[in-house]
Amino acid sequence: MKSTLTLLAAGSLRRAFIPLQAKFTQQTGIAVDMVFGPAGLLRERIENGAACSVFASANRQHPQALSDAGRAHGLQPFARNQLILTVKNTPETAAKDWLALLSDNSLRLGTSTPLCDPSGDYTWQLFDSLDVDYPGLGASLKQRAIPLVGGRHSLSVPPGEIASRWLIQQDLTDLFIGYAHYASALDGDRSIRNITIPQPWNIRCEYYLAMLDESDAARQFCQFILADEGQRCLRGAGFLAVSDED
């Protein structure tokens, strides 16, 4: 009888893990039930007793908390990401660079939700980074930021939609800070524009795996993610491998 795993994974991993899981199951015969969501809220579900064989988080903090509590083991990084700006493409925004856009108080700024979703935590780190070289900007951005997704009572983004584009097209925000791996999927949409946040201000977003059971199936799945085929799926979805240079 073949095993079935339960994977709880950060929502940003959906585009990488759906094909990754299909290849893993095809090769091993091991089925994987996948649940996606904000990693902080997934951690709470695990703490409250939700079934989970493998936890794939968009940061180290949440699996580390489970490990510290004796609930998880085998923490290891498996992918990296960065942040980008996505802005409504208008004559007013077309000529502005990343800093001018962030400094424009007339633009509504959407983010994910800190504490619940690592994307929000990374965004707040970005604000702190900016404040060092542009005093007052980070504090102003924290005041302006509207956490629209990734929270306990956030808007529900329709299946298949990317939050940044959907929120802008629904006229819920003018500018959104999100993960850079979505850029390739957003390319070609002339209603929006993606702008790179340059170094040294951009944030290194690190993704971590943790096992919550001792099964061979869970171990095989983690090994598959870290091996060449799993890493190709992640790169194909726009992620950086742990070994990649920024």
What is the C-alpha to C-alpha distance for residues 71 and 62, in angstroms, rounded to an integer?
Answer: 11
Give the helix/strand (H/E) hosting 36.
strand 31-37
The stretches in the chain having pLDDT less than 50 are: 1
Question: Could you tell me the two tokens for 158?
Answer: 């329709």
What is the C-alpha to C-alpha distance for residues 102 and 87, in angstroms, rounded to an integer?
Answer: 10
What domains are defined for the chain? 4-80+206-236 (3.40.190.10), 83-196 (3.40.190.10)
What is the C-alpha to C-alpha distance for residues 40 and 3, in angstroms, rounded to an integer?
Answer: 27
Q: For the chain, what is the radius of gyration of the CA atoms?
A: 18
Chain position carrying tokens 């929006």: 192
Taking Cα atoms as reference points, which of 80, 102, 81 lies closest to residue 93? Answer: 102
DSSP classification of residue 142: H
Provide the CA 44 distance to its chain's centre, in angstroms: 17
Distances (CA, A) of 152 to 15, 115, 143: 22, 10, 20
What is the C-alpha to C-alpha distance for residues 112 and 38, in angstroms, rounded to an integer?
Answer: 9
Neighbours of 66 (CB within 10 A): 20
For the range 62-68, what are the long-range contacts, defined as Cβ-Cβ under 8 Å and sequence gap of 24 or more?
62/118, 63/208, 63/209, 63/210, 64/208, 66/210, 66/212, 67/210
Taking Cα atoms as reference points, which of 161, 187, 189 lies closest to residue 89? Answer: 189
Q: Helix, strand, or coil here: 76?
A: strand
Per-residue pLDDT, 1: 41
Per-residue pLDDT, 2: 55
Q: Are strands 146-149 and 109-112 parallel, antiparallel or unpaired?
A: parallel
119-178 confidence digits (pLDDT tens): 999 999 999 999 999 999 999 999 999 999 999 999 899 999 999 999 999 999 999 999
Where does the chain have alpha helices with state H? 14-28, 39-47, 61-68, 91-94, 98-103, 118-133, 137-144, 163-169, 183-186, 216-226, 228-236
Per-residue pLDDT, 136: 97
